[in-house]
Amino acid sequence: MSTPAHPTPAAIRPPTASTEPAVTSNSATFGRVEPDGTVWVRTAETEISVGQYAAGTPEEGLAFFVRKFDDLAAEATLSLVRLRDGRSTVEAAAATATKVREQLVEPKMVGDLAELASTCDAIDAEIAIQRQKRATEKAAAKAAALAAREQLVAEAESVVQSTQWKATGERYRELLDAWKTMPHGDRAAEQGLWKRFSTARSAFDKARRSHFAALEVQRADATVAKERIIAQAEVLAASTDWGPTRAAFRSLLDDWKAAPRGSRKDEDAWWARFKAAQDQFFAASTAANDERETQFRANAQVKEELLAQAQALLPVTDLVAARKALAEIQTKWESAGMVPRADKDRLDGGLRKVEDAVKNAESDRWRRTDPAKKAFAQSAVDKFQESIDKLTAARDKASTAGDAAAVAKAEASIANTKPLLEAAQASLAEYL
C-alpha cells in the first residue's frame, strides 16, 4: 500500500470562518479518525487507512477526505445522468467510470465506497444500452440513406428527356453534388443506383451536345457582331475625351454581352482584342489621372505653406498689417489651383479659421472705438465717482461734527457704490 496522503492546512480548512468542517452528506459516517491523525474508511468487510491530516482538528481532517469522496461521487452521478439524457458521450462516461474505479483500488477518501462502485456499474449498464441504441440508429440511417439515393435517381431518370438545357443541366449538377454529400448505406445497392444515375445523366448530356451542334451554323452572326464591336473599341482606344469615352466603352460592353456567342476559341480571341483596346484607353486615363493627382499634391503643398503663413498672423496684434497680409495670401490661394479631395476640407477649413479670426478682430476694434459706447461708459464712471466724492465729503463733515451714525451711513453708501464704480471703470477700459 502506498504512503498515506498528508493534506496541507489550507487544503483541509473550510472556505468560511467557521471552525467546523462543511460536511453536507452522510459520507462521514463511513470514516473515523485515530488520535495520531490517521483517517480510516469502513467497508462491508474491513477498514482501510486513507491517509493522515497534517493540521487542524480531527473533524477537519475527516472532512477533507469526505470532500474528496463527495466530489468524485458527484462526478460519477453527473456522468450517469448526462449519459442518460443524451448530454454526454459513451466515451466520456466510460472514461469517468475508469477514473472512479482506479481511485477505488486504493481509496484516499471517506464515503460509501460500495455505493460509488454501484454507480460505476450503472454507468457500464447505460453504456451498453446507448451502444445498442447507436447500432439501431446506424442501421436506420443506412436504410434512410439508401432511400434518399433511390429518390435522387428517380428524379434523374424523370428529366432525361427534358429540352430545358440550362435548367436541367444545372439540376443534374445539383443532384450530383447532393449524391456526393449523402451518407452511405449498403455499398452494393449504392453501386447499382449510381449506374442508373450515371446512365440518365449521360443520355441527357448526349442530347444536349447534339442540340448545340445543330445550332453552330447559326453562330455566324456572332462573328459579325463581335468584329463590329472590336472595331469601334479600337477606334476609341486612343481617345483623350475621358468621360464620354468611358461611357462609350460601357455601352460597347453591354453590346458585347447581348451579342450571339461563338465558339470558346473564337470568344477568347475576340475578347482579348476588345480588352486590349479597352485596357489601352483606361491605362491612358489612369496615367492622366495620376498626372493630375501629382499636380494636385503640388498645389496642396503650396496651400500648406500659405496656410502656415496665414496662421502665423494669429493672434492679430496689427489689424491693418494682418488684413493686408491675408489679402495677399487669399490671392495666392486662389491661384494655387485644386488639391486632392482628401486635403481640400482641411486646408480650406484652416484658412477660414484665420479669416474668421481677422474678421472678429475687426469687429472687436470697432466695438472698442465706438464713440457713443465710450461716452456712455465715461458718463457712468463720472456719475459713480461724483457720488463717492459727495458721500466722502458728507462722511468727513459728520466725523467733524461727531455724528457717528451719519459717518456709518456714509461709509456704508461708499462701500455699496465702489463696486459699481469699479465695474464702470472696467467697461471704460475696453475703449481706451
pLDDT digits (tens, 9 = 90+) for 43-102: 989 999 999 887 778 888 899 999 999 999 999 999 999 999 989 899 999 999 999 999
Task: Tell whether 64 and 125 lie within a shared domain.
Answer: yes
- pLDDT at res. 373: 72
| pLDDT tens, position by position, 123-179 | 999 999 988 888 877 778 788 888 899 999 999 999 989 999 999 999 999 999 998
Determine, yes or no, domain membership for 299.
yes
**154 and 203, same domain (yes or no):** yes
Residues 6+ apart with CB under 8 A from 78: none
One domain, residues 395 and 350:
no
157 and 199 together in one domain: yes
Single residue among 324, 340, 368 that ends a domain in this structure: 368
CA separation for the pair 165, 170 (Å, rounded): 8
| 62 and 118 housed in the same domain | yes
Question: Which amino acid belongs to residue 352?
Answer: R
Q: Is 264 among the domain residues?
A: no
Low-confidence residues of the chain: pLDDT under 70: 1-24, 218, 368-370, 430-432
Domain boundary among the residues 192, 217, 242 is at: 217
Residues 32 and 105 in one domain: yes
The Cα diameter of the chain in Å comes to 138
**How many domains is the chain built from?**
4
The reported pLDDT for the residue numbered 140 is 81
Q: What local confidence, expressed as pLDDT, does residue 79 receive?
A: 94
Cell readout for 311 is 496662421
The answer to whether residue 234 sits within a structural domain is no
**One-letter amino acid for residue 285 of the chain:** S
| 189 and 297 inside one domain | no
pLDDT on residue 432: 59
The verdict on 149 and 102 lying in the same domain is no
Domain shared by 174 and 210, yes or no:
yes
pLDDT of residue 70: 95
> Is the residue at 163 inside a domain?
yes
Is 287 part of any domain?
no
| Whether 106 and 77 share a structural domain | yes
Note whether 35 and 63 are same-domain residues. Answer: yes
pLDDT at 169: 93
The DSSP bridge pattern shows strands 31-33 and 47-52 to be unpaired
Domain-terminating residue out of 368, 393, 414? 368
Helix (H, G, I), strand (E, B), or coil: what is residue 40? Answer: strand
Residues 127 and 210 occupy one common structural domain = no
Residue 230 falls inside a structural domain: no
Distances (CA, A) of 166 to 155, 163, 205, 212: 17, 9, 11, 12
Q: What is the pLDDT of residue 3?
A: 40
Domain span at residue 399 reads 371-429
Please give the full DSSP string across 184-208, using - where no structure is assigned.
P--HHHHHHHHHHHHHHHHHHHHHH
Residue 250 within any structural domain of the chain? no
